[in-house]
Structure 1
Amino acid sequence: MTEQDSIVLSEMRDGVLMVTLNRPKARNAMNGPMVTALQNILKDSAEDVSVRAIVLRGAGGTFCAGGDISDMAATAGDKTAIAAVNRRFGTLIEEANRFPKLLVTVLEGAAMGGGFGLACVSDVALATENCRFAMPEVAIGLIPAQIAPFVVQRIGLAQARYLALTGIAIDAGEAYRIGLIHHVETDASALEARLDTILAAARRAAPNAQQKTKTLVLDSPGTFGPDLLNQAAADFAEAITSPEGAEGTAAFVEKRLPSWAENGDRA
């Protein structure tokens, strides 16, 4: 097993790839090998039809404490090298944001800096009530260079300004209130139960329709207007006349589950 393999663990469970950030002694702070490993997982999973969703979490009771500052120290003050390291993380965030399948983050302990950014680009974010969230960069003389645009998109300009400019930490209840996360659970058992509910619903979603819907939702804020709606109409026609659409509509009429649904009754 290589360092890159051991730094991020992955396991397939019923069509869901369970991905775990595995640097617990560093509170899962992200370094270069971890970024590369996550990029490879996202790329491979996007192309693998057996993967219906990714669940991303951290080992040792912490999601992610942010970027590993020692990566910056290793560049010996070379501004070009520092910018390149920083930009690589931004590329990861872009790729996670546009991952064409469901991306779920399971947040425990802390989601700081880059971990905060990953939560902001997940489709579903679940947290235990003891999880803390922050953009602490300004407190150590840095800026949230790569995550700021995604934070603004997730929680709005007013909340992003408040958190980014103060570096203040908030609890899961406040994170839920401002729209950063979708569910707050009291303990690990409740968190796993909520995750099971989310994944059961995800398995009932038609894969191609889910991918097209994600693209439509992501494109809507910046391009709303006739062009977007024209493309959406064309995509709808393509969907309903596809084998997946034919199967889905037939299953609805016949009051049965479609072929891709793996578990549970229709929601």
Structure 2
Amino acid sequence: MADTAQQVATDDILLREDRDGIAWLTLNRPGAFNSLSTELMTCIQDELARLADDASIRVIVIAGSGPGFCAGHDLREVRGNQRNAPFLKAMLAQCSTMMQTIVNHPKPVIARVHGIATAAGCQLVASCDLAIAEDGSRFGTPGVNIGLFCHTPMVALSRNVSRKHAMEMLLTGEMVDADDAIRFGLINRAVPLADLDEAVMTLAKRIASKSSYTLKIGKRAFYEQLQQPTLGEAYAYASEVMLENLAAHDAGEGIQAFIDKRDPVWEDR
């Protein structure tokens, strides 16, 4: 695949660059550590909706500009609306919808993390399917330190790391380093900052080389089987999805290519 890049116009607070079938969405509020204002969340939500139907894009990367990945909600905006219950309710609903959109998105989403990822920023990392971080990055849910427990970040965090690790992060508000984030299961791996873009791109290209139909049906099944109440129901659900997958064109092509000892030619169906 040729190394091509295309800039796509978005609001200045969210940048998009398409490169080799991979869309890079960069949070661009560096002076505020890319905190998730309602305006920025609207831009992310809108771009994710556009990408869902963009056949030229196979993988999405979410990154941050400036000194850190994302510091969570915009506390100046929160403080200015602390007595405005309708605004706060709408803001939390907007954030929850955005995080669920990432999980339910038909395309794999990778977090490219540098600096810090705290509170809703840590929630964003946990909501992405995969995460690659710089080895000096730090993660935390420090809301308890300002009298505001990280209730909504807790949802994504507790679904990615063990209960006791999640509770330690939530109850102490202390930061964890990249090594602990790997050990906890919050990120996949950490690399030096100079190698971060290459590591993310290598992973994204590897995923982008697969059938987009297979990726879509597999990602959906992964999260759905986790919600099944029993092991037997999870297997029953997964078996139904596998039957659906086996009937697809790309499954037949892939199996035949394996038999013929050649590379498959995907039609994404």
1:136 aligns with 2:133: no
Q: Which residue of 1 aligns with 2:248?
A: 242
CA deviations 1:59-111 (Å, max 9, x no partner) are 11311011101222332512232122122111111111221211000100110
Instruction: Determine if the alignment matches structure 1 residue 197 to structure 2 residue 202.
Output: yes
2:164 equivalent among 155, 158, 175: 158
**Cα pair 1:135 1:169 within 8 Å, conserved:** yes
Aligned to 1:221, which of 226, 247, 263?
226
Q: Is the 8 A contact 1:106 1:125 kept in 2?
A: yes
One-letter code of the match for 2:183? R
Question: For the structure 1 residues 171 and 252, does the alpha-carbon distance in structure 2 shift closer, same or farther, using more than 3 Å as the test?
Answer: same
For 1:76 and 1:137, the matched residues in 2 are separated by 15
- Alignment partners' CA distance in 2, 1:92 and 1:117: 11
1:4/1:199 CA distance change after superposition, 3 Å = closer
Amino acid of the residue matched to residue 187 of structure 1? L
**1:201-250 residue CA offsets vs partner (Å, 9 max, x unmatched):** 10222211111111221122320444433332232222222212122112
Between the aligned partners of 1:54 and 1:41, the Cα distance in structure 2 is 11
2:214 corresponds, among 206, 209, 212, to: 209
Which residue of the other structure, out of 181, 186, 210, is the alignment partner of 2:187?
181
Task: Give the secondary structure class of the aligned counterpart of 1:5.
Answer: coil
Mapped to 1, the partners of 2:220 and 2:63 lie a distance apart of 24
- Match in the other structure for 2:74: 68
- Shift of the alpha carbon at 1:46? 1.4
Letter in 2 for 1:79: A
- For residue 238 of structure 2, what is the amino acid of its counterpart? A
Point out where structure 2 has 5 or more consecutive residues left out of the alignment.
1-8
Give the equivalent residue in structure 2 for 1:90.
96
- 1:191 is paired with a residue of what secondary structure? helix
- Name the aligned partner's letter for residue 81 of structure 1: F
> Residue 170 of structure 1 is aligned with which of 166, 169, 176?
176
Offset of 1:21 from its aligned partner?
0.2
Structure 2 equivalent of residue 47 of structure 1: 53
Q: Write the distance in 2 (CA, Å) between the matches of 1:56 and 1:118.
A: 9
Instruction: Please report the TM-score for the alignment, with normalisation by the length of structure 2.
Output: 0.90
Q: Calculate the TM-score normalised by the size of structure 1.
A: 0.91
Structure 2 match to 1:80: 86
Question: 1:245 is paired with a residue of what secondary structure?
Answer: helix
Contact 1:15 1:53 in 2 (8 A): yes
Cα distance change of structure 1 residues 15 and 191 upon mapping to structure 2, 3 Å threshold:
same
Instruction: Tell me the equivalent position of 1:10.
Output: 16
Question: Per the alignment, in what secondary structure is the counterpart of residue 100 of structure 1?
Answer: coil
- DSSP 3-state at the match of 2:139: strand
* Superposition CA RMSD, Å: 1.8
Read off the aligned partner of 2:126 and give its amino acid letter. Answer: C
1:251 aligns with 2:257: yes
Q: How many residues align structurally?
A: 258
2 CA distance for matches of 1:235 and 1:246? 15
**Partner-residue secondary structure (3-state), 2:66:** helix
- Higher mean alpha-carbon deviation, 227-236 vs 240-249, is at 227-236
Q: Identity, % of aligned pairs? A: 28
Q: What residue in structure 1 maps to residue 4 of structure 2?
A: none
Amino acid at match of 1:198: L
Q: AA paired with 1:234? A: E
Q: In structure 1, give the amino acid aligned to 2:154.
A: A
Corresponding residue SS for 2:181 = helix
Amino acid at match of 1:196: M
Task: Give 1:4 deviation, angstroms.
Answer: 6.6
8 Å contact kept, 1:30–1:66: yes
